Homo-oligomer: A and B are copies of this chain.
Amino acid sequence: MILAEIITIGDELLIGQVVDTNSAWMGQKLNEIGVKVKQITSISDDKTHILTTLAEAKKRADIILITGGLGPTKDDITKKTLCDYFNSELIFHEPSFKIIAEIFQSRGRVISETNRLQAFVPANCTVLLNKNGTAPGMWFTDEKAIYVSMPGVPNEMKFLMESEVIPRLKEKYSLAPIVHKTILTQGIGESFLSDLIEKWELALPPYMKLAYLPSAGMVRLRITASGENENSLRIEVEKQTEELQKLIPDFIYGFEGDQLESQIGELLIKKGKTLSTAESCTGGFIAHKITSVAGSSKYYIGSIIPYSNDLKTGLLNVNPELIKKHGAVSSEVVTEMAQLVRKKLNTDFSIATSGIAGPTGGSDEKPVGTVWIAISSEKRTFSWKVQLGSNRLRIISETALHALNGLRKELITHE
Contact = CB atoms under 8 A, between A and B. Distances in A.
Contacts of A294: 358-360, 392
Interface string A258-284: 000000000000000000010100111
A18 B24 CA distance: 7
B41 A40 contact: yes
A39 interface: yes
A282 to B, nearest CB: 8
Copies of this chain, whole number: 2
Nearest to A307: B302
A307 B311 contact: no
A39 B288 CA distance: 40
Looking at A23, A292, A308, A357, the one whose CB has the most chain B CB atoms below 10 A away is: A308
A37 interface: yes
A15 B28 contact: yes
A257 interface: no
A302 B306 CA distance: 5
Given A24-B19, A40-B13, A301 B292 contact: no
Contacts of A37: 14-16
Contacts of A288: 282-285, 287-288, 396
Contact of A16 (B25, B297, B315, B359): B25
A362 B45 CA distance: 43
Given A16-B25, A23-B20, A305 B284 contact: yes
A27 B396 CA distance: 32
Interface in A179-214: 213
Contacts of A213: 17
A166 interface: no
A277 B308 CA distance: 13
A302 B297 contact: no
A310 interface: yes
Contacts of A40: 13-14, 20, 40-42
Interface residues of A, number: 67
Contacts of A292: 283, 392-393, 396
A373 interface: no
Given A288-B283, A302-B307, A303-B305, A27 B15 contact: yes
B23 A42 contact: yes
Interface in A197-240: 213
Contact of A302 (B25, B31, B301, B315): B315
A56 interface: yes
A411 B359 CA distance: 26
A147 interface: no
A304 interface: yes
A315 B14 contact: no
Contact of A284 (B49, B285, B295, B310): B285
Question: 8 shortest A-B CB distances, which residue pairs?
Answer: A283-B291, A284-B287, A284-B284, A16-B27, A16-B28, A303-B305, A40-B42, A16-B24
19 contacts: A14-B39, A15-B31, A16-B31, A16-B37, A18-B24, A20-B40, A38-B49, A39-B43, A39-B53, A56-B56, A283-B291, A283-B296, A284-B288, A285-B288, A287-B288, A288-B288, A297-B308, A302-B304, A302-B315
